[in-house]
Amino acid sequence: MSENQAQPPLEDIVSLCKRRGFVFRTSEIYGGFANSYDYGPLGAELLHNIRNLWWQEFVTLRPDMVGIDSQILQHPETWVASGHVGSFHDPLVEDTVTHKRYRADHVIEAWVQKAKEENPASFQDFSVEDLSIEEMEAFLSENQVTSPDGNPLTAPKTFNLLMETELGVISGEKYKVYLRGETAQGIFTNFRQILDTTRVTLPFGIGQIGKSFRNEITTGQFVFRTIEFEQAEIEYFFNPETTHWQELFQSWQESMWNFVTKTLGVREENLQWRQHSDKERSFYSKDTWDLDYRFPFGWKELWGIAYRTDYDLKAQQTHSGQNLEYRDPHTGETFLPHVIEPAVGINRLLLMVLTDAYWVDQENNRTVLRLSPRAAPYKAAVFPLLKNKPELVSKAQEIFAGLSRQFPVVWDDRGNIGKRYLYQDEIGTPFCITVDFETLENGTVTLRHRDTTEQERLHADEVADWIKSLLQ
Ligand code: ATP
């Protein structure tokens, strides 16, 4: 059995996203733009929900967290200090005939995957993450690995992922700046101001959601890997003398797991933890784990968590010459706190949520997005049974107006009820509310459930509270 058998093919998800307005190719009218996607009306709502749920769970509901919003363009020294200018690299190989470029580790991974399918006993403990660039070069040449088009490849060389641009109005006097490669550094550079302006005491965390940019060359993974993407990162600061980092690390792992399974409703069997080996881990990190999701193209990193010690604060302190130390209000001791960093991409969360929710209901001949009500773009759809009966339409409008003040709902009066249900199933709307002739008699509406297609009657006045109870 293939490891991805339970998951829908990526093409089906891409097709649904396009058909129903979740995700479009960027610059479609010009033939598209590599590794870039725009979000349509439903994708924008879904992103918004995921973002808000993350912020609510990790910032609003926690007394030990605050949030910030720093700039995409920052002082270029930020990225020298963080090590991104010097070593934010991926290994690149080029097809010597077509000149298409690939990530060497991805080419090797695909080659190993194929070898394993032919001989399951081969490459048992192989991990491409453990290979240095020299080892990748040796692997490619020893195994005569070719490009996906079957052509010879160049030796791998490193290329920097940071995207550059220029600032300044006078030509010749412009200076180089970088589009941020992660949101985290904005947290470290604002650390002093946050200490000075808020009432936080260790241990505490700072969270941020925002756009990051990377010069990604790998294509074909839809919104999993894009040039421009949204990150949700937390830096959780603590005193390593008084806090057991292992316990803290584990509690963050539990919080990440709960967010994905309980808040976003993703199935546990599609998630697994993977610890980075000593070779793969950054030199400053004491422990790093990835929470992997079973994407349609295999198990891949969804969310990373790393114990980064005081590496980043120390680097920003050294480069800026500013004191970034924390002063303990009880003991008066001053020191640089250590940090645990859970970092996730909002767009990867979206792809995971869509993949996990996608279901072809053979029995009822329909495609359904079984999104959790909290993630679903619309919580309910409101229909008048017939478009040409003013008394039905005005009652339905009244219900729509009442509900839409409380949560996102959608109106539909096109076509017959069966078609409206199928459309709502495909976009993941958990409930459809139909105003029919019985509504005019006794005030009840038909409430139809997306997943079971079951219908029941509920008084129109009770619908809002009933849906709200499911959103808790
Ligand atoms: P990968 O190994 O997949 O390139 P990474 O280890 O470089 O990811 P981090 O730098 O740890 O990723 O970034 C934190 C999170 O940001 C990742 O877990 C992922 O969810 C998200 N992310 C990183 N790069 C991208 C990208 N190019 N497109 C979309 N999301 C991304």
The pLDDT value given to residue 293: 98
Residue 326 has phi, psi (to 5 degrees) of -95, 140
Mean pLDDT to the nearest integer, 194-221? 94
| Residues 434-446 pLDDT 10s | 999 999 999 999 9
CB 189 within 8 A of CB 118: no
β-bridge pairing 175-179 and 163-167: antiparallel
Establish whether residue 109 lines the binding site of ligand 1, counting it when its CB lies within 6 angstroms of any ligand atom: no
Nearest-CA residue for atom 31 of ligand 1 = 345
DSSP 128-177: GGG--HHHHHHHHHHTT---TTS--BPPPEEEE--EEEEE-SSTT--EEE
The pLDDT value given to residue 87: 85
The pLDDT value given to residue 174: 81
Strands, E assignment, 215-310: 228-238, 271-275, 287-295, 298-309
The pLDDT value given to residue 1: 34
Which atom in ligand 1 lies closest to the alpha carbon of residue 304? 18
CB 230 within 8 A of CB 180: no
Q: What are the structural domains of the chain?
A: 10-88+162-358 (3.30.930.10), 92-160 (3.30.40.230), 378-470 (3.40.50.800)
Establish whether residue 413 lines the binding site of ligand 1, counting it when its CB lies within 6 angstroms of any ligand atom: no
Establish whether residue 304 lines the binding site of ligand 1, counting it when its CB lies within 6 angstroms of any ligand atom: yes
| Residues 399-453 pLDDT 10s | 999 999 999 999 999 999 999 999 999 999 999 999 999 999 999 999 999 999 9
Establish whether residue 379 lines the binding site of ligand 1, counting it when its CB lies within 6 angstroms of any ligand atom: no
Which atom in ligand 1 lies closest to the alpha carbon of residue 349? 20
Establish whether residue 88 lines the binding site of ligand 1, counting it when its CB lies within 6 angstroms of any ligand atom: no
Nearest-CA residue for atom 21 of ligand 1 = 345
Establish whether residue 229 lines the binding site of ligand 1, counting it when its CB lies within 6 angstroms of any ligand atom: yes
